[in-house]
Amino acid sequence: MKMVLRWFPHGDDSVTLQQIRQIPGVSGVATCLPKIPVGEIWHSVEIERVKQEVTEAGLEMEVIESVNIHEDIKKGFPSRDRYINNYIETIQNLGKAGVRCLCYNFMPVLDWARSDLAFSLADGSTVLSYRHEQVLKMNPDRMAQEMKKKALGFSLPGWESERLSAMAADIEFYQQFTEDDYWKNMKYFLDAVIPVAEASGIKLAIHPDDPPWPLYGLPKVIIDAEHIRTFLNLNSSENNGLTFCTGSLGSNMDNDLPSMITEFGKTNRIHFAHLRNIKHLDKKDFDESAHLSSCGDLDMFEICKALLDTGFDGYIRPDHGRMIWGEKARPGYGLYDRALGASYLLGLWEAIGKMAK
């Protein structure tokens, strides 16, 4: 297992590579090229420029997040083949640069949704929070505006700012979609890119829907064990796998996370794990929390044990952290609480591994 931290290049991060390098046990970063428009090719020269910055800091760049999939691919438009070909070339270029894991998602229109990016907890820290009825009352445009206000001038990971003006039309388009329509478009994409990923030595790791339930009538398909089985059966290659995000999947209180890890880990289909904790206030209302099991509803000991028991040898990163100690940073991606989370998770991993011997 390798512990990594998400990092945003081109000066779009308050956290430096030197600071990440000083977190014991963190070997690299999961990064991206956010300046490249969605659907366009990530060229080798741009990839190598970021890789050089990372390696000069003494870190590895084996994980890439957010090579976003163009909406035309999700919609099944005739233009999708051009964007798929661009995605294929991007995969090839990433493979040449030594990238071994690519985290992406197939969520329509909205990459993720929250009602508040800076909800205050009793201890004075702030977190990302979700109140379902509040989100339903906010039209997506207003939600995007509110989120941007609290992003402190940083970009919102996964959100395509250039598409915000088309959000209402996109959502209306998807009202005619069935789940089967969406599966067909996912399979078309997977069958085109998976052979290239195999040849390039890259594991594709899809991220679950966040939150994992219907929202604005959009198709949600990476939400529970049954749907994940369907997804993995679309293409049987081991390179077609998962980013197991405990915060996303754990938002649904019916999901048994250790059981899911055991099922999908035994077939080597979990390539990346985002580990964060959440505290439910109701079935569809929650606050993100510190990583410790005692701070949220998710049992991080059992989650880490299930990963270790299945022989997981991929990548883990501490997911969203709180804003603590007066830090001003992109919501969820400050340094301090994620560093604490990484240390906690590495401690759990070491203890569980020694107990098993």
Q: Which residues are known catalytic residues?
A: 207, 245, 274, 319-320, 333
**Torsion angle of C-alpha atoms 65, 70, 71, 75, degrees rounded to 10:** -110
| Among the listed residues 296, 307, 320, the one whose alpha carbon sits nearest the alpha carbon of residue 273 | 307
